[in-house]
Amino acid sequence: MKLVVAIIKPFKLDDVREALAEVGVQGVTVSEVKGFGRQKGHTELYRGAEYVVDFLPKIKMELAIPDDQLERVLEAIQHSASTGKVGDGKIFVTALEQVIRIRTGEMDLDAL
Protein backbone atom coordinates (compact mmCIF):
# COMPACT_ATOMS: atom_id res chain seq x y z
CA MET A 1 0.00 0.00 0.00
CA LYS A 2 1.09 3.57 -0.64
CA LEU A 3 0.22 6.97 0.77
CA VAL A 4 0.15 9.59 -1.96
CA VAL A 5 0.23 13.25 -0.94
CA ALA A 6 -0.27 15.82 -3.68
CA ILE A 7 0.08 19.59 -3.26
CA ILE A 8 -1.79 21.33 -6.08
CA LYS A 9 -3.21 24.70 -7.08
CA PRO A 10 -6.69 25.26 -5.63
CA PHE A 11 -8.44 25.80 -8.97
CA LYS A 12 -7.24 22.37 -10.17
CA LEU A 13 -9.02 20.43 -7.38
CA ASP A 14 -12.10 19.47 -9.41
CA ASP A 15 -10.00 18.38 -12.40
CA VAL A 16 -7.79 16.18 -10.21
CA ARG A 17 -10.77 14.71 -8.32
CA GLU A 18 -12.47 13.76 -11.61
CA ALA A 19 -9.25 12.21 -12.98
CA LEU A 20 -8.81 10.16 -9.80
CA ALA A 21 -12.42 8.94 -9.95
CA GLU A 22 -11.81 7.78 -13.53
CA VAL A 23 -8.88 5.57 -12.42
CA GLY A 24 -10.89 4.05 -9.57
CA VAL A 25 -9.83 6.00 -6.48
CA GLN A 26 -12.60 5.72 -3.91
CA GLY A 27 -11.45 8.08 -1.17
CA VAL A 28 -9.43 11.27 -0.85
CA THR A 29 -8.75 13.60 2.07
CA VAL A 30 -8.44 17.26 1.07
CA SER A 31 -7.04 20.12 3.16
CA GLU A 32 -6.55 23.80 2.42
CA VAL A 33 -2.91 24.63 3.17
CA LYS A 34 -0.44 27.43 2.57
CA GLY A 35 3.18 27.21 1.53
CA PHE A 36 5.84 28.17 -0.94
CA GLY A 37 8.56 26.57 -3.00
CA ARG A 38 10.34 27.95 -6.03
CA GLN A 39 7.30 30.13 -6.63
CA LYS A 40 8.37 32.08 -3.50
CA GLY A 41 5.14 34.08 -3.08
CA HIS A 42 4.44 37.45 -4.63
CA THR A 43 3.67 41.10 -3.84
CA GLU A 44 0.17 42.57 -3.85
CA LEU A 45 -1.25 46.06 -3.60
CA TYR A 46 -3.95 46.66 -0.99
CA ARG A 47 -5.38 50.14 -0.34
CA GLY A 48 -2.30 51.75 -1.80
CA ALA A 49 0.17 49.75 0.27
CA GLU A 50 2.34 47.02 -1.21
CA TYR A 51 2.85 43.89 0.85
CA VAL A 52 4.44 40.48 0.33
CA VAL A 53 2.39 37.30 0.32
CA ASP A 54 4.94 34.72 1.48
CA PHE A 55 2.66 31.70 1.75
CA LEU A 56 0.43 30.89 -1.19
CA PRO A 57 -2.85 28.97 -0.88
CA LYS A 58 -2.61 25.36 -2.00
CA ILE A 59 -4.65 22.16 -1.74
CA LYS A 60 -3.21 19.07 -0.07
CA MET A 61 -4.72 15.77 -1.20
CA GLU A 62 -3.98 12.53 0.65
CA LEU A 63 -4.81 9.10 -0.81
CA ALA A 64 -4.19 5.62 0.56
CA ILE A 65 -4.07 3.22 -2.38
CA PRO A 66 -3.05 -0.35 -3.25
CA ASP A 67 0.36 -0.72 -4.89
CA ASP A 68 -1.16 -1.76 -8.22
CA GLN A 69 -2.98 1.60 -8.59
CA LEU A 70 0.11 3.75 -8.03
CA GLU A 71 1.20 4.43 -11.63
CA ARG A 72 -2.34 5.26 -12.81
CA VAL A 73 -2.91 7.57 -9.82
CA LEU A 74 0.38 9.41 -10.32
CA GLU A 75 -0.30 9.88 -14.01
CA ALA A 76 -3.87 11.09 -13.34
CA ILE A 77 -2.70 13.67 -10.79
CA GLN A 78 0.23 14.88 -12.87
CA HIS A 79 -1.78 15.36 -16.05
CA SER A 80 -4.85 16.91 -14.46
CA ALA A 81 -2.97 19.28 -12.10
CA SER A 82 -0.45 20.59 -14.62
CA THR A 83 -0.65 24.12 -16.00
CA GLY A 84 2.97 24.17 -17.19
CA LYS A 85 3.79 27.08 -14.87
CA VAL A 86 5.85 27.42 -11.70
CA GLY A 87 3.84 26.45 -8.63
CA ASP A 88 1.91 23.50 -10.11
CA GLY A 89 2.83 21.49 -7.02
CA LYS A 90 4.42 18.24 -5.96
CA ILE A 91 3.47 14.60 -5.43
CA PHE A 92 4.98 12.62 -2.56
CA VAL A 93 4.73 8.81 -2.30
CA THR A 94 5.48 6.88 0.87
CA ALA A 95 5.02 3.28 1.94
CA LEU A 96 1.92 2.69 4.06
CA GLU A 97 2.47 0.00 6.66
CA GLN A 98 -0.99 -0.46 8.11
CA VAL A 99 -4.56 0.76 7.68
CA ILE A 100 -7.44 0.04 10.05
CA ARG A 101 -11.08 0.90 9.40
CA ILE A 102 -12.29 2.12 12.79
CA ARG A 103 -15.95 1.12 12.35
CA THR A 104 -15.36 -2.54 11.44
CA GLY A 105 -11.80 -3.29 12.49
CA GLU A 106 -10.90 -4.33 8.91
CA MET A 107 -7.22 -4.07 8.18
CA ASP A 108 -4.91 -3.15 5.32
CA LEU A 109 -6.34 -3.64 1.79
CA ASP A 110 -9.77 -4.56 3.21
CA ALA A 111 -9.81 -1.22 5.03
CA LEU A 112 -9.13 0.83 1.91
Integer Cα distance of 80 and 82 in angstroms: 6
pTM to 2 decimals? 0.85
Most distant pair of Cα atoms in the chain: their distance: 58
Ranking 21-35, 39-53, 91-105 by mean pLDDT, the lowest is: 39-53
CATH number for the domain spanning 65: value is: 3.30.70.120
Q: Which domain holds residue 76?
A: 2-111
Q: Which of 9-13, 37-41, 82-86 has the highest mean pLDDT?
A: 9-13
45-73 confidence digits (pLDDT tens) = 667 776 676 778 999 999 999 999 999 99
What is the bridge-based pairing of β-strands 2-8 and 89-95? antiparallel
Q: By CB neighbour count within 10 A (0-12 exposed, 13-18 middle, 19+ buried), where does 36 fall?
A: middle
**Total domain count, the chain:** 1
